[in-house]
Structure 1
Amino acid sequence: MQAKCGLVSVEELQRHLDDPAWRVVDCRFDLMDTEKGRADFNAAHIPGAVYAHLDRDLAAPVSAATGRHPLPEVALIEATIRRYGISAATQVVVYDAAGGGLAARLWWMMRWLGHSAVAVLDGGMAAWQAKGFAVEQVAQRPPEGTFQAQPRPEWVMDTEELSERLRAGRAPLLVDAREASRFRGEAEPIDSRAGHVPGALNYPFAQNLLADGRWRSSAELAEQWNALFAGQAPTEWAVMCGSGVTACHLALSAHLAGLPAPRLYPGSWSEWIRDPARPVAP
């Protein structure tokens, strides 16, 4: 069977629920109530799913120099992925409440670590329940997998590199996934400063989705990216957001649209503004 590496429908996942080669990971999370995702998982989740906590599993502890969701050390995330029951031949399906804004983080991380057979569930838990498919409350404890990370460091851009290249006038094209009002500096409900990195473009990640939380078609996504880039797709570019999570949604969107893969700036806005000397555009 060909590996799924973009989106998977709820119907296809339902057909593979008993397939031992498939592993489902629930990534639901609420930034304002960090234990709500786990509580929602305990109340009802897709049968066989394991739970990934954004703060504890998919991010390292925050320090005075980092953003809100720094990437974990490779050895730690490798151990976490093994605990999920994932091995080299496992087809991984990740989901969240609806649109993939959180699940895309694990999708990107798996690919960054060399595992291409990973897909986001189109429409997430909302689409699954809308179809009336079965849910369960009991958490699964799968046998430990044998996943071995093969990280791709070239997929990541850190703050030091971005700062140096910005000063030298050769920064890559940067696309910010935050809402337009935050990007323009008109509102900032989360971070201490408003605005954006000079020269960045804005593509709010919600533009990738239909009203019901399912993804737009590849053709629609390609059209939106084409409009943003004025018909000239970049050869080198990077994506960011508030803390390096929803930026991964843009990476998935680019993948579906057939664009060259962007690098991820995991520190994103919340790390950029740690140093008040770094430039900010309103």
Structure 2
Amino acid sequence: MNWTTLVDVPTLKAHLDDPDWLVVDVRHQLSDTAYGERVYAEGHLPGAVFLHCDRDLSGPLTGQNGRHPLPDPAVLAERLGAVGIGPNTQVVVYDDAQGMIAGRVWWLLRWLGHTRVALLDGGLPAWLAAGEPLTQTVVTPQPRTLPLCLQSAWVSVDWVQSHLNDPAMRLVDARGPDRFRGENETIDPVGGHIPGAVNRFFKDNVLPDGRFKPADVLRAEWQAILAGAPADTVVHQCGSGVSACLNVLAMEVAGMPGSRLYAGSWSEWCADPARPVAR
């Protein structure tokens, strides 16, 4: 069986010694970019490897392409292969931020064409709440070759700008409601949102304990947000193309596949003062 959205703690525990399974730790904080490596060294799930959101999961910054631009797919595939992800690997990814960073890995692997990837439902808190242990042992990955089969999973800033008033695009912003309104903006130099976007805070997809809401609940909530717009017209964005990936995943869990990501997101959009801003 392949897991392509979520995996619970008992299932992961039962497969920790499975050579075809790989656990990936992607804990990260925007305000402290050394946080992930530090807490990984202090304790992580048995057998887990570590990937860094900036170095491993993002491309070079130009000042115009957002805070977490997409990496070159060939470079990304090589890096993921180096930590042990091959064509038959079941990847389970986790963080301690309600899936905000883990969703990026899920989306990136699917973009490359690798569908055997799932989030640990509830992340690290769920693992600890179940009484499961952490370790400081760092494993030596068995390198594999991850083939590329790129999917049409994202859109460019030019595409978004050319579809601002087009029903072929239903733009959904995953940032918190205050930042969406242009209030309390402490990360990007400009506050506000892309005209026509609606707001779905990525944290609204999960329960208080960090596990995803049931599929039928998610489906009802997303249908209300989209107001009849087909799933394949939905384009997700956030501040830098990271937390929006969790909205893509939530729609998949809800049985509403086909949405895409505007990877550059608000940090790319607002880098050009000629682009319109709504508040």
Q: TM-score interval w.r.t. the shorter chain?
A: over 0.9
Distance 1:255 1:187, change over 3 A: same
1:155 alignment partner in structure 2: 153
One-letter amino acid matched to 1:199: G
Alignment of 1:195-214 (within 5 A): 195-214=192-211
Are residue 113 (structure 1) and residue 112 (structure 2) matched? yes
Q: Which residue of 2 aligns with 1:236?
A: 233
Task: Provide the residue aligned with 2:55 in structure 1.
Answer: 56
CA distance in 2, matches of 1:136, 1:169: 51
- 1:74 partnered with 2:69: no
Deviations 1:87-108 (A, max 9, x none): 1111000000151111000000
C-alpha distance after superposition, 1:31-61 (max 9, x if no partner): 1000111111010000100001000000012
Per-residue CA deviations over 1:210-252 (Å, capped at 9, x if unaligned) read: 1111111111111110111235544412100000000100000
Matched, 1:165 2:163: yes
Q: 2:21 matched to 1:25?
A: no
How many residues are paired up?
279
Match of residue 136 from structure 1 = 135
Paired with 2:52 and 2:229, the residues of 1 have a C-alpha distance of 38
Give the RMSD, CA atoms, in angstroms. Answer: 1.3
**Aligned partners of 1:65, 1:206: CA distance in 2, in Å?**
27
Moved segments of 4+, more than 6 Å: none
Normalising by structure 2, we get a TM-score of: 0.97
The alignment's TM-score, normalised by the length of structure 1, stands at 0.96
1:160–1:231: structure 2 CA closer, same or farther, 3 Å change rule? closer
Q: How many Å apart are 1:126 and its aligned residue?
A: 1.0
Query: Which shows bigger deviation, 75-84 or 246-255?
Result: 75-84
Is 1:226 the counterpart of 2:204? The answer is no
- Looking at structure 2, the residues matched to 28 and 97 of structure 1 have their Cα atoms a distance apart, in angstroms, of 6
Contact 2:231 2:259 in 1 (8 A): no
Residues 181-221 of structure 1, C-alpha deviations (whole Å, 9 max, x = no match): 11111221111111110001100001001111111111111
What are structure 1's unaligned runs of at least 5 residues? none
Indicate the residue corresponding to 1:188 in structure 2: 185
- Identical columns (%): 46
CA distance in 2, matches of 1:4, 1:86: 15
Deviation of 1:151 after TM superposition, in Å, equals 1.0
For the residues of structure 1 that align with 2:13 and 2:105, how far apart are their CA atoms? 21
Query: Residues 123-142 of structure 1, C-alpha deviation per residue, up to 9 Å, x if partnerless?
Result: 11111111111211021111
Contact 2:231–2:258, Cα closer than 8 Å, also in 1? no
CA distance in 1, matches of 2:257, 2:43: 37
Query: Secondary structure of the residue that 1:238 maps to in structure 2?
Result: strand
Amino acid at match of 1:190: I
Secondary structure of the equivalent of 1:274?
Answer: coil
**Is residue 83 of structure 2 the alignment partner of residue 84 of structure 1?**
yes
Distance in 2 (CA, whole Å) between partners of 1:189 and 1:211 is 25
Distance of 2:258 and 2:34 partners within structure 1: 33
More displaced, 225-234 or 180-189?
A: 225-234
Between the aligned partners of 1:98 and 1:29, the Cα distance in structure 2 is: 8
Instruction: Report the secondary structure of 2:236's partner residue.
Output: strand
Q: 1:73 to 1:189 in 2, by over 3 A?
A: same
Q: In the alignment, what sits opposite 1:267?
A: 264
Quote the offset at 1:169 in angstroms: 4.4
Greater alpha carbon shift after TM alignment, 25-34 vs 168-177: 168-177
Structure 2: tracts of 5 or more residues without a match: none
Q: Secondary structure at the match of 1:18?
A: coil
Q: Tell me the amino acid that sits aligned with residue 161 of structure 1.
A: W
Could you say what secondary structure the match of 1:54 adopts?
A: coil
